[in-house]
Structure 1
Amino acid sequence: MEAINCGSGSLIFLSRRGPTLSHLFFANDFILFCEANKNQATQLNDILRIFYHFSGQKMNRGKSQIFLSPNVPIDLVDATCRDIGFVRVDDLGNYLGMPLFHKRVTTNTFDFVVSKVRNKLNEWEVKKLLWREELH
């Protein structure tokens, strides 16, 4: 946060007119957002070094992932991955059951959530009907 506050860090816009973001923390996981360049890679390594110094918890870089925009030139991708020491992935997959998006969110993006909720409600309705039959 100090890097952000003093202007040497970067904030990522979540959408054209949306809020900016530099990081997310949840339980024992964290996600950092930055630009793909040498300066940001150095700052990321500094942040991780400071985190280890104060927490005593060293991060496993082999299990850590980096996602870079398809617009980043391949030579910069290779240099960034080498400098940071993370595994590059094309898709970050799911986190806490929800997909981490890399594309525009549309009205169909969360159809799977609506489907899961409908299925659960149907299961409850069936159980309720069976319970009523047992009472009579």
Structure 2
Amino acid sequence: MERGALHGVRVVPNGIPISHLFFADDSVLFCDATVDDTQGVRDILNTYAAGSGQGINMTKNSIYYGSKVKKRDKKIIERTLNIQSKVGFGKYLGLQSDFGYSKKAIFEDVEERIETRMEGWA
């Protein structure tokens, strides 16, 4: 981000941009849907692979686009990263991880599962 190779996303207009989230052995990278940011992500992944000695299996990865990204740009990004796009991320750790879903709907499901488990408690 300091070099301008990756821009991240801002949760609030004047907030600090978020470029990544890590949990255990999973990572989520955030960037603009541009060729420059895509090349930045590719360079980051290649640097990680070279430094760690770990290969990155791109078939286990996916990309999620904002609603305003053009189809042509999606194809360029997918070709640059050698990655397939998916419709949403599905569930992660039991929570719906698609950004477009209502938080209320996501947490209603969590509340329902907790109540179901608690019914059997003494």
What's the TM-score once normalised by structure 2's chain length? 0.89
CA contact (8 A) 2:10 2:16 kept: yes
What residue number does 2:10 align with? Answer: 13
> Which one-letter code corresponds to 2:38 in the other structure?
A
Change (3 A) 1:97 1:104: closer
> Which one-letter code corresponds to 2:44 in the other structure?
I
What residue number does 1:61 align with? Answer: 58
1:16-95 equivalences under 5 Å are 16=13, 20-95=17-92
Change (3 A) 1:9 1:68: same
Separation (CA, whole Å) in 2 of partners of 1:69 and 1:52: 27
> Which one-letter code corresponds to 2:31 in the other structure?
C
CA contact (8 A) 1:12 1:34 kept: yes
Q: Give the unaligned 5+ runs of structure 1.
A: 129-136
Q: Which has the larger radius of gyration?
A: 1
Deviation at 1:82, TM superposition (A): 0.8
SS at match of 2:73: helix
The percentage of aligned residue pairs carrying the same residue is 25
Separation (CA, whole Å) in 2 of partners of 1:120 and 1:99: 19
Q: Which structure has greater strand proportion? A: 1
What residue number does 2:117 align with? Answer: 120
Deviation at 1:25, TM superposition (A): 1.1
Q: Give the unaligned 5+ runs of structure 2.
A: none
Per-residue Cα deviation, 1:10-57 (whole angstroms, up to 9, x for no partner): 020125566531101111111100011110111111001100111111
Q: May I ask how many residue pairs the two structures share in their alignment?
A: 122
Separation (CA, whole Å) in 2 of partners of 1:70 and 1:94: 20
Separation (CA, whole Å) in 2 of partners of 1:122 and 1:77: 47
Separation (CA, whole Å) in 1 of partners of 2:98 and 2:37: 22
